[in-house]
Structure 1
Amino acid sequence: MPSLDGQDYVILNSVANVSKAIDVLHGYERIHCLLDNDEAGRKAYWELKKEFAGRIRDFSNNYNGHKDLNDYLCGKRQNQTVNPPPRTIVKPRKKGLGL
């Protein structure tokens, strides 16, 4: 079990912030990436790998089949669709006596 107190975390709200993270990450000997399982996440990882070859590891395969780590932790599958409950059609009542 890793010592969680001895770790730092860099959280990117968007892969557009990868270039900002590069400056911060230079001081670390090991970098573990938990990026999205999509094209943007893979591209961000390869950009980081060019800069930190040998010190970086991709962990997105640990939650394969999920869009990202959060969806994995919440139990949401990547292609899962939510079916709404069936709608009940209520016919309007006729007004008057209908003579």
Structure 2
Amino acid sequence: MEFEMIIMNLLNYSGEARSYSMEAIQFAKDGEVEKAKKSIEEAEQKISLAHKFQTSLIHSEAQGEKLSISLLLIHAEDHLMNAITIKDMATEFVDLYVRMSKISNGGC
């Protein structure tokens, strides 16, 4: 696959993962826990797809292929790192909203 297309896939899947993660937080905030969990799952799937493209670049370089480090590649890697971080934080927020809901409803 063409180098630029790999980068665009990294950007696309990372952006989708971030969006699903933010959506999960909003669902949890609105008390829609199952929708929130589904959005987290979607984010994880998109991160997995992005990671496959990232791995293909790493594999190419490990085999001796000279890859150009472009601003676009750095941008794509930044998007992936942020998507992973936001997904992790969204998971924590969903758990927190679930706990808060249980406490406010008389549970522990």
Same fold judged by TM-score > 0.5? no
Higher relative contact order (CA closer than 8 Å, sequence separation 6+): 2
Q: TM-score, length-normalised on structure 2?
A: 0.30
More strand as a share of residues: 1
Q: TM-score, length-normalised on structure 1?
A: 0.31
More helix as a share of residues: 2
Which structure is larger by alpha-carbon Rg, 1 or 2? Answer: 1
